[in-house]
Amino acid sequence: MTARLTMEELAALMKKGAGVTVDPAAMASRPDSGFDEWGLDSLGLLGIVGELENRHSRPLPADADRCKSPREFLDLVNNALAA
């Protein structure tokens, strides 16, 4: 995994953590569409947050599991990892 979370990695995490198969190119073309449009619910997003926290051995911001869109989530995670 790179230092920055990409749309491809997010799609892979959605598949692994929530069983949701998403085409990363399609998600990249509509980054502001809601996670619900991609079939990801809040529990699935919470699992992705947990996986990222384990991988990086550090907590993400408390509101990471409340992000509504892929763009919002990637921005928040990547800013947190860069800090």
- Return the pLDDT at 40: 95
Domain extent for 56:
7-82
Q: Name the nearest CA neighbour of 8 among 83, 77, 74.
A: 74
Instruction: Please report whether residue 38 resides in a domain.
Output: yes
Residues 41 and 19: beta-carbon distance below 8 Å: no
Could you give the number of structural domains in the chain? 1
- What is the SS3 assignment for 11? helix
Enter the pTM of the model: 0.91
CATH number at residue 34: 1.10.1200
- Return the pLDDT at 81: 87
State the residue for tokens 């892929």: 70
Orientation of helix 7-18 relative to helix 42-56, angle to 10°: 110
Instruction: Please report whether residue 54 resides in a domain.
Output: yes
Instruction: Please report whether residue 31 resides in a domain.
Output: yes
pLDDT in tens, the chain (83 residues): 457 899 999 999 999 988 999 999 999 999 999 999 999 999 999 999 999 999 999 999 999 999 999 999 999 999 998 88
- Return the pLDDT at 3: 75
Instruction: Please report whether residue 75 resides in a domain.
Output: yes
- What is the SS3 assignment for 63? coil
Instruction: Please report whether residue 33 resides in a domain.
Output: yes
- Return the pLDDT at 32: 97
Angstrom distance (rounded) from CA 13 to CA 10: 5
